[in-house]
Amino acid sequence: MQASEAFGKPGNLRDVAKAAGVSVATVSRVLNEPGLVKKDTLEKVQAAISTLKFVPSAAARAINSGRTRFVGALIPTLDNAIFARFLAALERKLSEHQLSLVVATTDSNPDTEAEKAKSLIDIGAEGLIVTGATHCAAMHDLLERTMIPTIITSFYDSDNALPTIGYDNAAAAQLALHHLAELGHKDIAVVHGPVRYNDRTRARLDGLKTYVFDGKLTTFETQISHQGGANVADHICSLPRLPDAILCLSDVVALGVLLGLQASKISVPEQVSMIGIDDLPTSAVTVPPLTSVHLPVSQMGERAADGLAQWITTQQAPHSEKLHARLIVRNSTRSLL
């Protein structure tokens, strides 16, 4: 009987090594890089781990291997379903690379982002996933000093110093506007979230400005929330004349606008067409179902996970990758032609 068993304590690394007849280094290799261990040795060590009920501590594994095997993701909020979809795909794919995920929210505040990035690095993050390409000076300084592998998501810019894995936000907005223009809409209200600290929103607005459109665009800024959308809907309903269509740069806001219009007895799309950007799961089941531009956030999470894992393992940064948005036409838009 092992001494650890006699005293009712779980086995430790040395107990496992002794029971399996291997070195402590071999047990460590089984725990951290099992693919490099011969099959018979792997099976002996795993059997010993099971018998002794050995559960390795993350701290001990980090000391033995020099690796923490976790990465950090910095996102603006957990309240938006688009980030939940992204994180689910990111975590699922990271686990295939034997990496864990720690998530920190920034509330879209650049200073908070820099502080939380430093905290993640201080506790041993091997890499970072960040949202958007615009960051404060403290964040840039931190990334330059630590040289930690960092991938930008939700934004594509091949000229950025860091790899970007995301979509062309300007093109996504233009896709929505093009759909409305083809349907004959000339007077369009554009509802968007705060532009400060949000380069994705700014890029979408810039895309609308550069699109050749023979009509009128009126912009309304609000919070990215259902309430924010509902507030804009109240304002639009008080105008002397309704716009032909409402283009929301976020499906979260679009749902609030839709509910606000319905509360004011405004029928969609009979009185006003509506389109969003994101294609959240709820967009397919609203009444009417919302036409939206699908953003490939799950694919983005998978690509970011693969790219970061490769960078950590090989010390080679991945190339930037542009993922393509696509239009999903449902019943919230109609032709005026």
pLDDT tens profile 75-118 = 999 989 999 999 999 999 999 999 999 999 999 999 999 999 99
pLDDT at 2: 45
Instruction: Please check the confidence at residue 70 and state whether its pLDDT lies above 90.
Output: yes
Domain-embedded: residue 94? yes
pLDDT at 15: 87
Domain-embedded: residue 7? yes
Token pair for 93: 């794919």
Does one domain contain both 289 and 307? no
* Residue after which a domain boundary falls, among 43, 65, 87: 65
Does one domain contain both 160 and 174? no
CATH code where residue 14 lies: 1.10.260.40
Residue numbers of the domain that contains 316: 70-167+297-325
Give Cα 45 to chain centroid, integer Å: 38
Domain-embedded: residue 27? yes
Does one domain contain both 159 and 175? no
* Residue after which a domain boundary falls, among 65, 85, 111: 65
Domain-embedded: residue 129? yes
Domain count, the chain: 3
Domain-embedded: residue 337? no
pLDDT single digits (tens) 246-261: 999 999 999 999 999 9
Q: How many residues are listed for the chain in this entry?
A: 337
In order, the DSSP letters of 159-219 are TSSS-EEEE-HHHHHHHHHHHHHHTT--EEEEEE---TT-HHHHHHHHHHHHS--SSEEEE
Token pair for 30: 């089984």
CATH code where residue 122 lies: 3.40.50.2300
Does one domain contain both 303 and 288? no
Domain-embedded: residue 335? no
Does one domain contain both 286 and 241? yes
* Residue after which a domain boundary falls, among 65, 87, 102: 65
Does one domain contain both 160 and 301? yes
Sheet containing 273-278: which strands, arranged edge to edge? Answer: 216-221, 187-192, 245-248, 273-278, 291-294, 326-328
Does one domain contain both 93 and 132? yes
Does one domain contain both 32 and 86? no
Do 104 and 119 form a contact (C-beta atoms < 8 A)?
yes
pLDDT at 4: 44
Mean per-residue pLDDT, 254-272: 98
Domain-embedded: residue 99? yes
pLDDT single digits (tens) 275-326: 999 999 999 999 999 999 999 999 999 999 999 999 999 999 999 999 999 9
Do 66 and 51 form a contact (C-beta atoms < 8 A)?
no
Does one domain contain both 85 and 163? yes
Token pair for 40: 């018979």
Does one domain contain both 178 and 316? no
pLDDT at 35: 81
Does one domain contain both 113 and 213? no
